[in-house]
Chain A
Amino acid sequence: MLYLLIVFLGWVNIYSAVYNEEHHKIFDLSQRYGKQLVLIFGALIIALLVIVTDSRFYSLFAYFLYAVVILLLITVLLFGKDIHGAKSWFELGAFRLQPAEFAKAGTALALARYLSSRGFNIRNLKNLFNTGLIIFVPALLILIQPDTGSTLVYFAFILVLYREGLSGGILIIGILMVVLFILTLIMDKMTIIIALLVVGYLVFWILDRNIKRFLIAALIYIGLAGSLFGLKEFTGLELSVYFILIFSLIISGFIYIYFVYFHRIQKAVLMYLLMFGSIIFTFTVDYTFNNILKPHQQKRINILLNIESDPYGSGYNVNQSIIAIGSGGLYGKGFLQGTQTKFEFVPEQSTDFIFCTVGEEWGFLGTSLIIILYTVFLFRILFLAERQRSEFGRVFGYSVFVIFLFHIVINIGMTIGLLPVIGIPLPFMSYGGSSLWAFTILLFVFLRLDISRQEYFI
C-alpha cells in the first residue's frame, strides 16, 4: 500500500518536474513562474489533505460535494467576474478561482455514488435519466458561462457509462451528437444534411449487406426528392430545399415501413430513426443558435469554438503551433532556445498551447516522451480503476481516467492540428491554479480510494 503511494507520488513528481521546467522557459522574467510555484505547493498540500481524509468521506459526502460545486457554478454566473465575455471566474484578491474545474471532480463523485447505489441498473430508464441529470446540470451551467471547452469534457462521462454497461448504440449517438453540435456551428446546414443522408444510407448498406435493398431504398428517396424538385421547377411552387429533402425522407419512411414489415430488417428502422433524429438535432441546434441566443452569446460561442475569433485570420494559432512544433526537429532547439513559441499568442492561449513549447524546445524526443508518459499514466489509472473492489471506486476511477484522457487528447490534438481548437488545459502542465488543483484533487481522491480498497468493504 505504501509502495503504491510512493509510486504515485513519484508519478506526480515527474509531472510536476516536467511542468515546472516548462514554465521556467515560458514565463522567464515574468511573475507567473513564481506564482505557479506557490500553486504547486498548494497542490501538494491539497494532495496531502486528500490523502489523510478518510476514504469513506468521499462516498458519504459525494452528493453534498456535488451540491456545493453546483452552487458555486450558479454563484459564478451571478457574481463572477466577466473576463473576455465569459463569467467563469471568482476573483479573490490576486487569486482567481474557476469553479468549472472543480465541478468535474464533484460530478465524478456524484456519478460514482449514484452508479454504485443498490439496485442501480443502467438499462433502467429512470436510472439512466437521473444519471444524465447528474452529468448535464453542471455541463449546462458551464455552457452558460460560456466555457464550451469545459462543457465538452462532460460528454466524456458517457464513456464511463459505457464501461458500466451502457449500450454501445447510445455511446455512438452521444458521440454523434457532439460531432453534429460542433459541425452545425461550423459548417453549412445543407452540407451537413446531405452528408447525413449519404452516410445514413451507406451505413445501412454496410449493416445490411444487401445491395439490392440498399439501391431500392436510396432510389425511393432520390426519386421522391427528384420529383419534388421537378414540381418546384415546373410549377414555380415556393418550396425550400430543406423542405424537399426532409419531406422526401418522411414519405420514404412510410414506404420503408412497408418493406420492414415484410422483411423484418430492424437495422433499417434504427438507421432511419438515427438519420432523422440527427437532422432534427441539426435544425434544433441551428435554430437555438440563430434565433434564441442573443448576438453577443452567439459571438461568445463562436469565439470559443474559434470560428471567428482570430484577429489574424482563421487557423492562426494552429498554424503558429504547428510551425513551432515542426521547427523543433528531432532534438529540439534546447532549453530556452525557442524562438517561435508565444510570439503573439494571447495569454489565455499560452496556457492551452503549452505543448508546442515542448515541441519546439525538446523536439520529437520531448514530445514523444510526454505522450508516452501520459499514456503510461493513463494505463496506470485504468489498471487501478479495474482493480477497485467497490463499484464506487471503479466508477470514480473511470471518471478520473476519462477526464484526463479527454483533456490530454483534445489539448495535444489541437496543438498538432489533428483536432479543432477547443480551449481546455493540459493536465499538470498548463499554467493555472484551478485546473492544477482540480486535477490534483481528482487524482488523489482516487489514490485515496485505492489505498483503502481493502478496508472499504468492512
Chain B
Amino acid sequence: MKNTYENRKYVFGAFLLLIAVVYIGKLFSLQVLDKSYQSTASNNVLRYITQYPARGLIYDRTGKLLVYNEAVYDLMVLPIQVKEFDTSAFCEILEITHNDVRRWIQNAKEYSYYTSSPFLKQVSSETYAVLQEKLYQFPGFFVQPRPIRKYSKHIAGHALGYVGEVDERTIKDNPFYKMGDYTGISGIEKSYEKVLRGEKGVNVYLVDVHNRIKGSFQNGKNDKPAIVGTNIISTIDADLQEYGEKLMVNKIGSIVAIEPSTGEILALVSSPTYDPSSLLGRGRSKVFEKLSSDTLEPFFNRPLMATYPPGSTFKLINGLIGLQEKVIYKQTEFYCYGGYYSRSIHVGCHNHDTPLNLPEAVQNSCNAYFCNVFRWILDNPVYSSVRQGYNAWKDHVLSFGFGHKLESDFSYELKGFVPMDSYYDRYYGITGWSSLTVLSLAIGQGELGITPLQMANMTAAIANHGYYFTPHIVKEIEGEKGIDERFSVKHQTTIDSVYFPIIIDGMDKAVNGPPGSGSTARIARIKDITVCGKTGTAENPHGEDHSIFVAFAPRDNPKIALSVHVENGGFGSTYAAPIASLMIEKYLNREISRQWLENFILETDLIHIDKKD
C-alpha cells in the first residue's frame, strides 16, 4: 500500500486549526471586544427607506408637458417590529376597519416577516400630516414617499400607456424589481421602461425604540441616492391628438396620423378611449375592472391591433402595381357598365361616366376598372402561371409594410394578413384557383387584414412617392444623440417613384374634382390645401360596413398622412373622410373654418343608436 505522503496530514491539521483560531479570534473581536455594534444594534434598529426615482417626463412634439410625477405616501409595515398598538386610533386616522388592519398585517407577514411591505398605498397628504405626528404610537409602521404619474391632459391613453405595479412573474425574472414597484404596462411607458424608470436608491436611518428616526446611519455611508429617469419627447402633437379624440367621441374606430418625411406618429386615436389618470390613485382597481369589462373594449388599442379589409383604399396599391408591372398605363381605359362581369362572377359598381382612365378610375373608385387591372397583373403573360403572377403581386403588396409587423416602438403591434399562395392551395387545391377566384383582392375585400397603423403608413409611402420610415412614437430621448437606428432606415417600396404622381392625381381628383365629375370624397376638400385622399368601405359581415378614409396633404411636400377608420360608419365618405379632413385642417391651419362639418361629426353618435331605438 502506497501511503508515501502520510506526513502531509499534519499540514491539513495545522491548516484547519489555524483557520479555526483565526475565525474565533475575529468573532471575539467583533462580538465581545467591539462594543460599537452592540450599542447601535441593541437599542436602535436600522430602517431602509427606498428612494424611488421620479420617472422620466413625457413631452409632446411641441414641448408641452404630457406626463409628470407627484409625490404620494405609502404606509409601510415591518411585521417583526409591530407591537401592540391602539388599533382604534390607527383606524380612525386612516379611515379603515379593524378587519382591514388584521388582514393587511397578515398579508405583510405572509410576504415577509423581516422585510417591509406596503400596508396602505397612496395615503393622501392630509392623512399623512396627521399620521406623521402619531406615528411613534405605532411601532413597525413608517411612511415611504413615492412619486406617481400625473397627466396634464386627459389624452393619448393608448399612446402613452400607463404604469402599474409589477406582477410576480416580472419580479421573479428581473431582480431589478421588488414587490410594490411600478413599471410601464403599455404604450410608451412600457416600450421605454428602461429609459423612464431611473434607478432606485436607499437611505439607511437609525430608528429608536419610539419609532422615531434618529438620523442617518453612519453619516449616510450606506446611502445611495436615487437616479431620476430620463425624459422623453414623443412625436405626438397634443392639440391634434386631443382634437382627434374629440371627433371620435361616440364612435368606434381609430385615427393614425403620420409625418411622412420622418415616420413620426402625430396622433394615435383609439376610440373609445380612456383617461390615463383614471388608472392612478386608490380607485384604480375599480376603474380598471369597469374598463376591462366594457364591451366596447376601451383598452383595445385599435390602431395597432384591429385589422380590417382595406376596401377601396387598396385600389391605390393595385393601380401602382399595375403600372409597375406595365400591364396598364396612365391612359389605359376600361369600360364599366354597372360593374365587372366575367363568367359566373359579377362585381357591382355605382353609376359613373365610362370609359375611365387610371386617375379617373381612382377618382370614381370604379370597381370594374380595378378588377380588370388585378386580373391583368395575375394573368400577365410574362409569368408562366397565375401563382407566379400572384406572388409578384404579393411581393409588391408586402413592400408597403402589409402582412408583417412594422416594428414600431409599440410592444403589441399586430401584423395583419396578406394570404400566401399556399393559403389558396389549401382552400381550392393547388390548381383550383385563378385570378378570378381571388378577385375580391382587386377591391380590397376578402381575406386581407390590415391595421390602421399599416394603412397610415401606406398613405405616407404614397405621399413620399415610394418609401416610408417605420412609424414611431418617440422623437427624442433626453441626453441621447438619437433614437433607435431602425427609425431612420428608409424602406423603399418595389414601385418606381415615377408611377406615384399618376395615382396621386386620382387621389387629388377624388377630393378636389369639380362637382358632378364623380369625385367620391369632395366632402374632404379644404380651401387652399390640396388634400389627396381615397375612400374605402370595409365589408362587415356582422353589421353596418366600416367607413375608411386615407389621405395626405398638402400634395406637394406633404406634412401629414393619415388613416381614419369608423366602425359601422358605412361608406368611407360618410364619416371617415370628414374626420380626416378636419384633422388635416387642424394640423396645418391650427383652426377649423368649417364649423358645420365639425358640428356634424361631433353630433354623430354611432354607439348609442341601438339603445335609442
Contact = CB atoms under 8 A, between A and B. Distances in A.
Contact of B37 (A84, A327, A346, A378): A327
A367 B115 CA distance: 25
A327 B39 CA distance: 8
Nearest to B41: A327
B39 to A, nearest CB: 9
A287 interface: no
B428 interface: no
Contacts of A30: 113
Contacts of B5: 163-165
Interface string B19-63: 110111011101110101110111001101000000000000000
Interface in B166-188: 172, 175
A343 B46 contact: yes
A310 to B, nearest CB: 9
Interface in A410-433: 412-413, 416, 418
B9 interface: yes
Contacts of A341: 114
Interface stretch (B10-18, B143-151, B535-543): B10-18
B38 A326 contact: yes
A29 B222 CA distance: 30
Contacts of A359: 27, 31
A394 to B, nearest CB: 8
Interface in A314-344: 316, 319, 322-330, 333, 339-344
A396 B27 CA distance: 32
Contact of A367 (B31, B172, B202): B31
B276 to A, nearest CB: 29
A327 B28 contact: no
Contacts of A316: 222
A409 B2 CA distance: 30
Contact of A323 (B8, B40, B115): B40
Nearest to A313: B224
B86 interface: no
Contacts of A378: 16
A64 to B, nearest CB: 26
Nearest to A364: B31
A363 interface: yes
Q: How large is the interface on B (under 10, 10 to 19, 20 to 34, 35 or more residues)?
A: 35 or more
B6 A418 contact: no
A326 to B, nearest CB: 3
A342 B116 CA distance: 11
B4 interface: yes
Given A316-B222, A413-B23, A326 B6 contact: no
A165 B4 contact: yes
Contact of A339 (B2, B6, B16, B41): B41
B489 interface: no
Nearest to B37: A326
Contacts of A371: 20, 23-24, 27
A58 B26 CA distance: 40
Interface in B124-147: none
Point out which of B5, B12, B32, B172 has the most chain A C-beta atoms below 10 A from its C-beta. B12
A379 interface: yes
A418 B41 contact: no
Interface in A278-301: none
Interface in A162-197: 162-165
Given A326-B34, A379-B13, A344 B222 contact: no
A405 interface: yes
B16 A416 contact: no
Interface string A370-396: 011011001100100010010100100
A370 to B, nearest CB: 10
B407 to A, nearest CB: 22
A130 interface: no
Given A323-B37, A326-B37, A379-B13, A342 B114 contact: yes
A405 to B, nearest CB: 7
Contacts of A323: 37, 40-41, 46
Contact of B1 (A312, A333, A367, A389): A389
A420 to B, nearest CB: 15
A81 to B, nearest CB: 11
A94 B31 CA distance: 39
A368 B224 contact: no
Contacts of A28: 113
A19 interface: no
A379 B34 contact: no
Contacts of A343: 46, 48, 78, 114-115
Given A319-B222, A379-B13, A386-B9, A416 B2 contact: no
Interface in B217-233: 222, 224
A93 interface: no
B109 A416 contact: no
A236 interface: no
A311 B42 CA distance: 26
Interface string B103-127: 0000001000111000000000000
A128 B69 CA distance: 65
A351 to B, nearest CB: 14
A50 B433 CA distance: 72
A329 B12 contact: no
B394 interface: no
A157 interface: no
A401 interface: yes
Contact of A326 (B17, B41, B175): B41
Contacts of B16: 375, 378-379, 382, 405
B42 A416 contact: no
Contacts of A345: 114
A363 B31 contact: yes
Given A29-B109, A339-B41, A389-B1, A312 B28 contact: no
Point out which of B6, B16, B17, B224 has the most chain A C-beta atoms below 10 A from its C-beta. B16
Contacts of B11: 162
A311 B31 contact: no
Point out which of B28, B30, B113 has the most chain A C-beta atoms below 10 A from its C-beta. B30
Contacts of A163: 5, 8-9, 12
B20 A312 contact: no
A163 B7 CA distance: 9
A421 to B, nearest CB: 16
Given A326-B34, A327-B40, A375 B17 contact: yes
Interface in B65-90: 78, 80-81
Contacts of B352: none
Contacts of B405: none
B31 A344 contact: no
Given A386-B9, A405-B16, A412 B42 contact: no
A364 B35 CA distance: 13
B114 A368 contact: no
B200 interface: yes
Contacts of A159: 12
Interface of A: 28-30, 83-84, 159, 162-165, 311-313, 316, 319, 322-330, 333, 339-346, 359, 363-364, 367-368, 371-372, 374-375, 378-379, 382, 386, 389, 391, 394, 401, 405, 409, 412-413, 416, 418
15 contacts: A311-B175, A311-B200, A312-B202, A319-B222, A324-B41, A326-B31, A327-B37, A339-B80, A340-B41, A364-B28, A368-B24, A371-B23, A382-B9, A382-B12, A394-B3
Interface of B: 1-6, 8-9, 11-13, 16-17, 19-20, 22-24, 26-28, 30-32, 34, 36-38, 40-42, 45-46, 48, 78, 80-81, 109, 113-115, 172, 175, 200, 202, 222, 224
Given A311-B200, A382-B13, 19 more contacts: A311-B175, A312-B48, A313-B224, A316-B222, A322-B30, A322-B37, A323-B37, A326-B30, A326-B31, A326-B41, A329-B38, A343-B46, A359-B27, A364-B31, A367-B31, A371-B27, A386-B6, A401-B12, A416-B30
Task: Identify the 8 closest CB pairs spanning chains A and B, nearest first.
Answer: A326-B37, A327-B41, A364-B31, A342-B114, A375-B20, A313-B224, A165-B5, A367-B27
